[in-house]
Amino acid sequence: MLASYLKFAEPQLDEATLSGVVEVLRSGQLASGPWVQQFERQLSAFCAGRPVRVLTSATAAVEVALQLCGIGPGDEVITSAQSFFTVLNMIVKVGAKPVFVDCDLVTRNIDLAQVEAAITARTRAIVPTHYPGALVDMDALLDLARRYELRVIEDAALVIGSRWHGKNVGAFGDLVTFSFHPNKNITSIEGGALIVNDEAEAKRVDALRFHGITYLPDRTRDVAFPGGKFNLPDVNARIGVAQLQHLPEFLAKRRSLVEHYFARFASDPRCLLPPTPSPTRDDGFSWNIFCVLLPLDRLTITRKAFRDALESRGIGTGVSYEALHLSTLGRSYGGHEGQFPNAERIARETVTLPLHTAMTNTDVDCVCTAVAEVIATARK
């Protein structure tokens, strides 16, 4: 039995970080200051020296990435129907048309065969979301993008710390976005990062995230296009710097909790689980969320009733994610039921179980026992 309520996600901030925040507040330099530069330098080192810019969220990073690619009205952007609203919203916000494809049922990653089939003369970019457990096949994705001359904007919000052929996500590829929302592997409270290819792109991001301003030799400023206001405060960057140092230990903790989930579910395999960690493939695959598909067709209860039952036992859950093409916005672009069976089944059956660094294996045991009991009492 749980002593207190178990949230499905929770950040871990140590006392040194809190003291660091107070120091920043006392310093008087609160925005676009030294801690922002330090956070960017450290993220750049993490990404093999590629230029990095931090922003107020991953959502801002996706918007700026699309603008950096010059994507707008008349352009199409291919993305998975199974992702967070950010991707759909930002494609629409820059004036482009979202083109959805389905995902794999187990890895939840975008189906690259369907991506290729969806490419038209108007396609400008592919925006895949990586899921914990298995990355999108980056060799195949980058090869596809090269063949059709498309930009790739990786939504890596869930997978900072994952590696592909030994390289960190963000250390290779085209444009990559991270999220530092409190539910992610590391947090800056709110915040995000955009990894770009060269200094020219980084300079353009500087303007896109700060009013479109460029600085003139006579120390006045000019604006040639309407930029956004997405610069990260130094307080957030200070937290981000501290969190990045803890990333290896946070990832190790998350992985060990996930291993325990897999061990527990192995003896009670009624839910469909994420891809099982393999000793060769799993090294570096970060676990931000642990989602299962409920066997709803064999239960007498709805997902809501299942979640309510866990809630009444003090266990928080989430939904990652609704199907984008079935949102009101997605439907306005032709999205309809039956279009993407895997994304729709995930949207119907998925439940995000608690996973964060303050948890213990005993917490995982409590969650698994509760899941098993609720399912057992609701069997048809």
Ligand X SMILES: Cc1ncc(COP(=O)(O)O)c(C=O)c1O
In the complex, the smallest distance separating the C-beta of residue 107 from ligand X, rounded to whole angstroms, is 14
57 binds ligand X (CB under 6 A): yes
- Quote the DSSP letter at residue 121: T
DSSP-based three-state secondary structure for 49: coil
Query: Least distance to ligand X from the beta carbon of 87, Å?
Result: 7
User: What residues contact 117, with CB distance under 8 A and at least 6 apart?
Assistant: 101
86 binds ligand X (CB under 6 A): yes
- Taking the least distance from each CB to ligand X, the nearer of 107 and 129 is 129
> How far, in Å, CA of 372 to CA of 204, rounded?
52
- For ligand X, the binding residue among 111, 155, 174, 363 (CB under 6 A) is 155
In 3-state terms, what secondary structure has residue 86?
helix
Question: Under the criterion CB under 6 A, does residue 84 sit at the interface with ligand X?
Answer: yes
Query: What ranges in 109-233 are assigned the alpha helix state H?
Result: 112-118, 138-148, 199-208
Cβ atoms of 256 and 356 within 8 Å: the answer is no
346 contributes a contact to ligand X by CB under 6 A: no
Give the range of 55-63, 104-112, 199-207, 366-374 binding ligand X by CB under 6 A.
55-63
- Total length of the chain: 380
Of 93, 184, 203, 380, which one is the catalytic site residue?
184
167 flagged as catalytic = no
Question: CA 226 to CA 212: how far, in whole Å?
Answer: 5
Q: Is 250 helix (H, G, I), strand (E, B) or coil?
A: helix
124 near ligand X (CB under 6 A): no
Work out which of 82, 107, 123, 129 binds ligand X, going by CB under 6 A: 129
Q: Is 185 in the site for ligand X (CB under 6 A)?
A: no
CB 301, CB 171: distance < 8 Å: no
User: Could you tell me the smallest distance in angstroms from the CB atom of residue 200 to ligand X?
Assistant: 25
What is the C-alpha to C-alpha distance for residues 31 and 198, in angstroms, rounded to an integer? 24
Q: Would you count residue 157 as binding ligand X (CB under 6 A)?
A: yes
In the complex with ligand X, the residue whose CB is nearer, 100 or 313, is 100
Binding site for ligand X (CB under 6 A): 57-59, 83-84, 86, 129, 155, 157-158, 179, 181, 192
Instruction: List residues with catalytic annotation.
Output: 184
